[in-house]
Amino acid sequence: MASLTELVAPAALRDGRTRMDHLTALASSGVHVLAAADGPSVWTQMVGSALIGLREGLETGIVVMVLIAFVVKTDRRDALKWIWAGVGAAVAMTLVVFLVIHFGTSTMTPLAAETIAGVASLVAVGIVTFMVLWMSEASSHISADLKSGMSKALLTGGASVLGLAFLAVGREGFETALLMVGYAESVSGGLWPLLGLVVGIVGAIVLTVLIYRGAIRMNLSVFFTYTGLFLIVVAAGILTYGIRALQTVGWLPGLGNTAFDVSETYDASSWYGTILGGIFNVRPDPTVLQVIAWIVYVVVVTTIFFRRQRAGHRAIAARTSDESSAPVEPAPERNPQ
């Protein structure tokens, strides 16, 4: 029989009790309580991160391919070593950022690790959102921008070429590192997502080489459209994970306000539950704040994504039209004498 306190306790007190129960479970278990009991399968963890690695790796590969093709075409092969040095430095920076954040949380208390994971997830969502929206419009002129930057760097010297390659690749790498930290924490916190990322990056390298050599042709606009939408949904899942983590440690309210609970019909351990939970962080009992945040994020970001993409396409069409309609100066007549 319920006690009098339980019957008259206000909603805030019940929410506080729920949060305390979660904190107690978290502290006593020493593991993340946000994941399912068994956690996503190894296959699911690797597939999600491999898709992220493929998309981000191909985007980075295209950047490197443009830089290399430009110096080769301008007969400046001596600059290749500086490009590869910049790429290597950017890759090393990416690995350091990922490992420091990912494994640094293992030395903390469970509550501190959960807090860091929640904050890192929200930061990752912010950066990934910016990069996805930027790429949706910048993809139409990124090649010209890189070539312009490289032509100036070649005049300055090797250090400038290295810096340009480092910034161009490091920007993508930093985005990938933060995205993978949030994704890895939301699915397991183990090494399998990192392994899947490596598999995806290797696949991206192979595709980039084949594209560079002309062995295959790919509609990159369509590819980046669909993978951009995929990243938006993945980021929405990481956003809800970060919100849940901060609700668990008491930084955000509403942990006890469950929007719905379909645990009886939704089998999180089934094949579909494993895929949805592992890749998109879908859970059967989200809080109201999680549901609102997911819907608002997906609707708003997807709308902006397509608007910026259409703006980029219009810019290309306008530039092409201007170039085709530009008057051609007549050749000077020869002196009849």
pTM reported for the whole predicted model? 0.69
Give residue 256's Cα distance to chain centre: 30
Q: What is the pLDDT of residues 83-125, one digit of tens each?
A: 999 999 998 998 888 777 767 666 677 788 778 878 888 988 9
Q: Are 63 and 211 in contact (CB under 8 A)?
A: no
Q: What is the pLDDT of residues 201-252, one digit of tens each?
A: 899 999 888 888 876 777 777 878 888 898 899 899 989 999 999 999 999 9
Sign of CA dihedral 23, 26, 29, 33: positive
Q: What is the pLDDT of residues 282-294, one digit of tens each?
A: 889 999 999 999 9
Both structure tokens of 11: 């909603």
Compute the distance between CA of residue 242 and CA of residue 261 in angstroms, rounded to an integer: 19
Q: Letter for the amino acid at 72?
A: V
| Cα radius of gyration (the chain) | 25
* Structural domain spans, the chain: 36-311
Both structure tokens of 55: 């998309």
> 234 Cβ partners below 8 Å, 6+ apart?
48, 52, 179, 183, 279, 280
Higher-pLDDT residue of 180 and 249 is 249
Partners of 287 in the beta sheet?
A: 258
Residues in the chain: 337
> 70 Cβ partners below 8 Å, 6+ apart?
146, 147, 150, 151
Q: What is the pLDDT of residues 46-80, one digit of tens each?
A: 777 788 888 888 888 888 988 998 888 888 889 99
pLDDT of residue 296 exceeding 50, the answer is yes
Compute the distance between CA of residue 285 and CA of residue 299 in angstroms, rounded to an integer: 21
Q: Are 23 and 34 in contact (CB under 8 A)?
A: no
What pLDDT score was predicted for residue 9?
40
Higher-pLDDT residue of 295 and 57 is 295
Would you give the DSSP letter of residue 10?
-
Compute the distance between CA of residue 160 and CA of residue 274 in angstroms, rounded to an integer: 47
Q: Give me the helices (H) in 9-141, please.
A: 11-29, 42-73, 80-104, 110-138
User: What's the start-to-end Cα distance of the chain, in Å?
Assistant: 117
Partners of 258 in the beta sheet?
A: 287
